[in-house]
Structure 1
Amino acid sequence: MSVAAAAAQAPQGAIVIGDDQARGAVETIAGETVQFALPVNAGTGYVWRAEAEAGLAVSGPEERPAAPVSPGTTGYRMLSIFLVTPARAGAYTVRFILARPWEKTTAREVSITMTVK
C-alpha cells in the first residue's frame, strides 16, 4: 500500500509512516499533539509500540483499517495511530517498534526526531 493510499484513511493531518521509512523529522510547538499513522497487517500478531523520551506524552495505538474493508475480510492492512504531545520546547526522539509481543526480536523500528518550539 502506498503512503498516499494510507493517508486517505488516516486521521486528517496525521503523519503517515511509509513501509520503507526508518527515520523522520517533525517540527511542532509545545502542547500541540502530533498524530503518527503506521502500517501493519491484521492477523499477523505484530503490533506497534512507542518508546519516547521524558517530555513527550504518548497515547495509542488506535487501530483502524488502512482502506475500506468488506465484512468478513481477514488479513487486511491496518493503521496504528499514535498521538504524541510534547510538554515543552526542545529536541526529542520517539521510536516506534513493530514486534510480536511473545517474541524477543523486532520486525521494524522507526525513529522520529521532534523539534519543539
Structure 2
Amino acid sequence: MGEVRVSPRDSEVRVSLGDEVVVELPENATTGYLWSVQHIDGGLEVTSDEYRAPGQVLPGAEGQRVVRVRPTAAGDGVVRLVLKRPWESAVQDQHSVRISVSD
C-alpha cells in the first residue's frame, strides 16, 4: 500500500490496488477559482478533497488543492478536475488523470 503523487504535468499513472493517488494542483482561493472533481469513474473514489493554504499568508499567495483518490477495483478509470468559480459556468482550466489499477 503506497501513495502515488500526481502533478499538473501528469496525465496518466499506474498503481496497484490498495495504493492511494494524490492529485496536487495550484489554487489561489482569493481569486474565487477553485478546483473541483467534475467526473470520476472506473472503480475510483475520492477519499478527501482539501485546500492547503500557502506557508506564508500573503495577499494573492498560491496554495494547493489536494485530492486523494482510492481505487476500489482493478481496471482503468479517470478523474477529471475543473478550475472555475462556483457561481459561474465557465471553466478556466481542467486536468484529467487516467489511472490504471492492477491487482
TM range (shorter): 0.7 to 0.9
Tell me which of 5, 16, 20 is aligned to 1:14: 5
Residue 47 of structure 2: aligned partner = 59
Cα distance in 1 for residues equivalent to 2:47 and 2:35: 12
**Structure 1 residue 54: deviation in Å?**
4.5
> Partner of 1:43: helix, strand, or coil?
helix
Q: Please give the per-residue CA displacement for 1:25-54, whole angstroms capped at 9, x wherever unaligned.
A: 000011211111011113011111112015
Q: Quote the residue 1:4 is aligned against.
A: none
The residue identity in structure 1 corresponding to 2:35 is W
Indicate if the aligned counterparts of 2:74 and 2:101 stay in contact, CA closer than 8 A: yes
Q: Does 1:78 align with 2:63?
A: yes
Q: TM-score, normalised by structure 2?
A: 0.85
In 2, the alpha carbon distance for the partners of 1:103 and 1:110 equals 18
Q: Which has the higher strand share?
A: 2
- Alpha-carbon distance between aligned partners in 2 of 1:108 and 1:64, rounded to the nearest angstrom: 19
Q: What is the rounded CA distance, in whole Å, between the counterparts of 2:87 and 2:51 in structure 1? A: 20
Length-normalised TM-score, structure 1? 0.76
Identity rate, percent: 30
Select which of 30, 41, 44 maps to 2:28: 41
Corresponding pairs, count: 99
Consecutive unaligned residues of structure 1, counting only runs of 5 or more, are 1-11
* 1:27 equivalent in alignment to 2:14: yes
Q: CA deviation at 1:13?
A: 5.3
